[in-house]
């Protein structure tokens, strides 16, 4: 009887040892994680390629905060670099997918890559928005005070814009720099400056947007060519007459350095202004 009990104990111990020796096969779990990473890597590469392709054909590429930002460029290149490392790692370890350590490494890589893969997709959204809809910029100078101050940030819309009188627009000057001005004269209009007063087609225009916080207009609109008190501008078809709100310091259509602004020079209409605390 004692011998039988001893034999049973030996058998149980042997079974326990055999159970401990049997290892879990992690192949299926590792392959599922690998599949997720490969799909994310494809999205990353496609998004990155589209970001750079759109920048080559975009009229508004100068306003693309993605490609103009060293931080974003660093993040996208780092994401591509990590993607390549993951591809190399998964290829070199394919014979060990059943190993628990390899599974855990794959799982850790997926957790990290979940965050990194968001970057190119986010950048693509911003870039496509800049190409087709709305672009960001900021005010540099005092020519549009009291409505837009130096250092303020703006968003301007450029999808199928029909420009109207008093629209605040972004334009490209002959010098190659971008200016913010207000449309006063439309194509075919006659703009007259007489003793500091602005007339369009013989009628005094409403310039309440020039009022300061006290409700008064302190800036007169003088001519920049010939007689400073009187001048006439016949706006050609397909072009616009623009002025800065701060008339005493603004360089605009009154000056030969800008003159009339063609439709091709207009880049969009300002729709929003804000203070960007990240840039400040």
Which residues are identified as catalytic? 143, 181
**List of residues 6+ apart from 252 with CB closer than 8 A:** 143, 179, 181, 242, 243, 244, 258
DSSP H/E element including 33: helix 27-57
Q: Is 64 within 8 Å of 141 (Cβ atoms)?
A: no
Token duo for residue 86: 């993951």
Distance CA 173, CA 185 (A): 17
Find how far residue 128's CA is from the centre of its chain: 8
**List of residues 6+ apart from 123 with CB closer than 8 A:** 47, 48, 51, 66, 72, 76
């Amino acid at each position: 009887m004692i011998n039988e009990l001893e034999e049973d104990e030996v058998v149980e111990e042997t079974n326990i040892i055999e159970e401990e020796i049997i290892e879990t096969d992690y192949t299926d779990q590792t392959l599922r994680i690998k599949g997720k990473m490969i799909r994310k890597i494809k999205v990353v590469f496609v998004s990155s390629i589209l970001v750079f392709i759109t920048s080559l054909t975009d009229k508004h590429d100068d306003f693309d905060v993605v490609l103009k930002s060293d931080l974003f460029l660093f993040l996208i290149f780092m994401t591509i670099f990590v993607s390549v490392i993951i591809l190399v790692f998964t290829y070199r370890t394919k014979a060990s997918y059943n190993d628990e350590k390899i599974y855990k490494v794959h799982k850790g890589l997926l957790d990290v890559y979940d965050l990194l893969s968001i970057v190119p997709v986010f950048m693509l959204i911003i870039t496509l928005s800049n190409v087709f809809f709305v672009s960001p910029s900021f005010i540099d100078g005092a020519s549009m005070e009291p409505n837009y101050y130096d250092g303020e940030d703006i968003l301007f819309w450029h999808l199928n814009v029909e420009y109207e009188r008093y629209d605040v627009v972004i334009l490209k000057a002959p010098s190659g720099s971008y200016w913010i001005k207000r449309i006063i004269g439309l194509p075919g209009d006659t703009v007259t400056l007489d003793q500091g007063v602005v007339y369009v087609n013989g009628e005094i225009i409403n310039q309440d947007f020039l009022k300061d916080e006290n409700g008064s207009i302190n800036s007169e609109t003088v001519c920049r060519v010939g007689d400073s008190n009187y001048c006439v501008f016949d706006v050609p078809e397909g072009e616009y007459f623009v002025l800065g709100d701060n008339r005493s310091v603004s360089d605009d259509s009154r000056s030969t350095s800008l003159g009339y602004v063609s439709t091709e020079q207009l880049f969009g209409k300002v729709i929003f202004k804000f203070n960007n605390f990240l840039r400040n």
